[in-house]
Amino acid sequence: MEKQSVKNRIVNIIKALSKDISDSTIALKFSSPFELLIATILSAQCTDVRVNEVTKNLFKRYRSAKEYAEVDIKRLEDDIRPTGFYRNKAKSIQKCCNNLMERFDGGVPKTLEELVTLPGVGRKTANVVLGNAFGIPGIVVDTHVHRVSQRIGLTKNDDPVKIEFDLMKIVPQGEWTHFSNLLVWHGRKTCAARKPLCNQCSILKWCDYGNKIKT
């Protein structure tokens, strides 16, 4: 498919999904870039619903990088236990917060290059924070974006970083965060991993997978 037709396809997909998904904002609840950073670290291999249940009290208990860095790690582990992999997450959070204190005066940096140097922060987490807390566009490749972008036919790659760069080439930069959020919600609501609801899909006509299984 020619580049121009791919971009037209993207425009149509964004229009259709925006109409289908009235609220495409991120599901994680936060009131600051720092809270979103912590919530996103906790969201690894955990549902946003569960993370929100945990952070409801967590964000009242710890309000700064300093407080996370100084709390006894066993206490922090207990506080985040329901999110799973709590020992590794507690270590990552404390190391991340120590870095924030030492290098950024406890604040959250506003560049991907700086964010990915923090423990527990990869490109996905960095782009979540940049796009949803700072309004700096970024492509977020989580499990839903990974799956849906492949099914639609926007990438043939399996590596999340390669998928991110593939999408950056064809999605208008100003839509990067919005597009990512749309694919996340579409993946949750319609394009499920095991049994996609193709008969209910608003972007079926632009989807390689859907057109292959149509009878």
The span from the CA of 55 to the CA of 109, in Å, is 21
| Model pLDDT for residues 83-94, shown as the tens digit of each residue | 999 999 999 999
Catalytic residue among 142, 159, 169, 205: 142
Asked if the domains at 3-25+139-213 and 33-133 fall in one CATH topology, the answer is no
List Cβ neighbours of 120 (8 Å cut-off, separation of 6 or more). Answer: 41, 89, 92, 93, 95, 96
pLDDT tier at 7, thresholds 50, 70, 90: confident
What is the fold of 33-133?
Endonuclease III; domain 1 (1.10.340)
Residue 50: left (phi > 0), alpha (psi -120 to 50), or beta? alpha
**What is the structure's pLDDT at 5?**
87
CB neighbours of residue 1 within 10 Å: 11
| Model pLDDT for residues 41-70, shown as the tens digit of each residue | 999 999 999 999 999 999 999 999 999 999
Please return the burial class of 169, using the count of CB atoms within 10 Å of its CB with bins 0-12, 13-18 and 19+.
exposed
Catalytic residue among 79, 89, 124, 166: 124
Q: What is the pTM (predicted TM-score) of this model?
A: 0.93
CA neighbor of 56 nearest in space, from 31, 78, 34:
31
User: For residue 185, is pLDDT > 90?
Assistant: yes
First to last CA, the chain: 23
Is residue 15 annotated as part of the catalytic site, yes or no? no
CA neighbor of 186 nearest in space, from 142, 155, 134:
142
What is the fold of 3-25+139-213?
Endonuclease Iii, domain 2 (1.10.1670)
pLDDT tier at 119, thresholds 50, 70, 90: very high
**What is the structure's pLDDT at 215?**
45
Task: Identify the DSSP state of 109.
Answer: P
Is residue 142 annotated as part of the catalytic site, yes or no? yes
Share of the chain above pLDDT 90, in %: 93
The domains of the chain are located at 3-25+139-213, 33-133
The span from the CA of 48 to the CA of 41, in Å, is 11
The span from the CA of 126 to the CA of 62, in Å, is 21
**What is the structure's pLDDT at 3?**
52
